[in-house]
């Protein structure tokens, strides 16, 4: 039976800036709790303002592990000015570019989870290239172009430990969702076709897969 986050954690999640609905958040939390039993770090790609980080951090805290979150904090393609998901409050007025890092830090502070998260600030492929530690969970929720999504998958999926979980967000099979969900959908299909991952659950656009073999 899935374990739901405590009311204060769920309230912090709902109060944080972000786009993940509660029902997907609960599925992510359940996956993080399960993966936390491996005693390894839980890692997400695509921090934004820390909404989903709250859930990973709380699961890591309960497991005595740590949550890792990777982002350059300049926003993905669809979050830039003129696009649907742009939030003017995330723009640094001094340089005119997005900077979600201060909001992310406030999010963790309000949730009481600062001590359970390591923020890796930089480009995902650059960080992945020097990363050498197995992780219990990789949550891919970064850029939605094929270039960025593929780089996140190829950079981080190899680090998922045996029995660990790969979670992919914004998986939309409908071709009409080309900009927002087709690249994650293609990652999902690739992971299944690889033989390295087996599907565990699907909650709307959130897919949870378990490593059951080598490779990516």
Tell me the per-residue pLDDT of 122-174, one tens digit each, with 9 for 90 and over. 999 999 999 999 999 999 999 888 999 999 999 999 999 999 999 999 999 98
- Compute the C-alpha angle 22/24/25, nearest 5°: 60
User: Whole-prediction pTM value?
Assistant: 0.92
**Catalytic residue check, 144:** yes
Confidence (pLDDT) at 79: 54
Strands 160-168 and 206-211 turn out to be: antiparallel
Q: Whats the size of the chain, residue-wise?
A: 216
Q: Active site residue: 116, 144, 148, 169, which one?
A: 144
Contacts of 206 (CB under 8 A, 6+ apart): 24, 27, 28, 167, 168, 169, 171
Torsion of CA 20, 74, 148, 161, to 10 degrees: -60
Query: How many C-beta neighbours within 10 Å does residue 7 have?
Result: 8
What percent of the chain is helix, strand and coil (3-state, nearest 5)? 45, 20, 35
Chain mean pLDDT for the chain: 91
């Amino acid at each position: 039976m899935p374990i739901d986050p405590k009311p204060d954690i769920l309230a912090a999640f709902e109060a944080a800036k972000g786009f993940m609905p509660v029902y997907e958040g609960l599925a992510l939390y359940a996956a993080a709790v399960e993966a936390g039993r491996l005693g390894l770090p839980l890692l997400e790609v695509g921090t934004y303002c820390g909404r989903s980080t709250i859930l990973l951090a709380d699961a890591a805290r309960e497991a005595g592990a740590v949550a890792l979150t990777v982002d350059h904090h300049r926003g993905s393609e669809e979050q830039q000015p003129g696009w649907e998901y742009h939030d003017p409050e995330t723009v640094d007025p001094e340089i005119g570019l997005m900077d979600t890092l201060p909001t992310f830090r406030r999010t963790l502070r309000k949730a009481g989870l600062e001590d359970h998260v390591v923020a890796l600030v930089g480009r995902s492929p650059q960080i992945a290239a020097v990363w050498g530690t197995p992780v219990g969970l990789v949550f891919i929720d970064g850029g939605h172009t094929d270039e960025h999504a593929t780089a996140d998958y190829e950079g981080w999926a190899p680090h998922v430990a045996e029995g660990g979980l790969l979670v992919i967000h914004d998986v939309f099979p409908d071709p009409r969702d080309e900009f927002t969900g087709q690249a994650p959908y293609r990652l999902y299909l690739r992971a299944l076709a690889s033989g390295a991952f087996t599907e565990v659950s699907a909650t709307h656009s959130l897919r949870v897969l378990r490593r059951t073999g080598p490779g990516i």
